[in-house]
Amino acid sequence: MKVLDLRCANDHAFEGWFASEDDFQGQLSRGLLQCPVCGETHVRKVLSAPRIQRSALVPEHAAQSASPHAASVSSPDLPEAAQGLPAPLQAAWLQWARQAAAQSEDVGERFAQEARNIHRGDSPERPIRGQASAAQALELLEEGIPVLALPATATDTLH
pLDDT digits (tens, 9 = 90+) for 125-150: 999 989 888 889 889 988 888 888 77
pLDDT digits (tens, 9 = 90+) for 110-124: 999 999 999 999 999
Residue 142 has φ and ψ, to the nearest 5°, of: -65, -25
CA separation for the pair 135, 131 (Å, rounded): 12
In DSSP terms, 77 is beta-bridged to none
**Could you tell me which of 131, 125, 95 has the C-alpha nearest to residue 112?**
131
> In this predicted structure, what is the pLDDT of residue 82?
53
Residue 125: alpha-carbon gap to chain centroid: 27
pLDDT digits (tens, 9 = 90+) for 14-69: 888 888 888 889 999 998 888 888 888 999 998 766 555 455 444 444 443 333 33
Residue 83: alpha-carbon gap to chain centroid: 10
Residue 28: alpha-carbon gap to chain centroid: 23
